[in-house]
Every structure is written in C-alpha cells, then in structure tokens.
Amino acid sequence: MAGTLLSRFALQLIILSSLLWFGPWTKAQSFFRRPPVQLSIHNPSSLQGERNRTTICIRVPSDAGAELETVVLSQLPNPDQWYWGKHPPQVYKGRYALRGGVSAGLATSSFSTVGSELTINLIPPVPPGDQVNIVFRSFNPDEGIYQWATRLMPSGIDALASEGPTLRLHVYRNDRFR
C-alpha cells in the first residue's frame, strides 16, 4: 500500500515538473527547431569618430523550422552607448560584402532607452537557408570594446525567442593628431 502511494506521488511529481519545465514550449505557437547561431558584426572603420557601416550578418539554418522575423541586441554594460544612426537599417541577402547592394524598407528598427535594446524587425521574415545582412550607417563612438547579447524571434504568434551569441566590436583611439 505504501509502495503504490509513493509511486503515485512520484508520478504526479514528474508530471507536474514536466509541465513547469515544458510550459513555455507548449504555449508557443512558433519556435526554432534549430535556432540561428551564425551571427557576426562587421564595422570596416574601427577608429573613433569615423563614419561607419555597421553590418549585422545572420545565417538562418536550412533546418531552422521557422522564419526569422525579429532580432534584439542588448548592449552589455559600457560607459558609452553605440550610436546606430537616425536612418532605418538597410538590408541585403547573401554573403557579407563590404559594398553589398542594400535595399531600403526591408527592416525597421526601434531603440529602447531603458536597457539599451535595439529591436530590428525584418520585412518580410528571412526564410530558412538564407543569410540576411542588416546595415546601419552612423559614426563610431569613443574608443572601447562594445558588446551585445542577441535574441532571435521567429515569425508567428506567441513566438519563443532563442538566445544567440554575444557580438563584439572594438573601436580604437584616433592617434593621427598626436
């Protein structure tokens, strides 16, 4: 009698813990089966104060299971904030190229002053197997190491976000005038 009572309790405990553990996935309507992890950031100009063409490259795996719709960059603590510019981002598909043929209107961005988050919405979402390159034009901030945590969201209702790799850029002091 005590053995069956204990086994029933153990079974109920396992079911309850699995519901708590898998709860977010059961609610989510869309998620990445294999999330994008091939992310990189490029800035051809690495001196402070120079014009830049910061490009974020994201390769969506062919077996991702969902299209990439939103990318969120959260700047890690730093005395200075990265300046993404006033203009909307430009986008091109395919391999990264210094002078890639960009198109306007394929992405929108918004910046949250609380938490230093940049949210990029891709229009239309990027299908599995494609690479997207998102270009921002502005000026480099002061010298330092700038890092961002990344979060990627598939298209769909109640999408479950996936954490991506940390991106890093170095900006150096301009010693031309010394």
Strands lying side by side in the sheet with 38-42: 38-42, 51-59, 131-139, 90-93, 103-104
In the chain the domains, ranked by start, together with CATH numbers, are 31-171 (2.60.40.680)
With CA atoms as reference, report the closest residue to 97 among 65, 135, 64, 127: 135
pLDDT tens readout for residues 14-60: 665 555 555 555 554 789 999 999 999 999 888 998 999 999 999 99
Average pLDDT for 152-168 = 94
What does the angle CA 63 – CA 40 – CA 156 come to, to the nearest 5 degrees?
45
pLDDT of 138-155, one tens digit each?
Answer: 999 999 999 999 999 999
Provide the residue count of the chain: 178
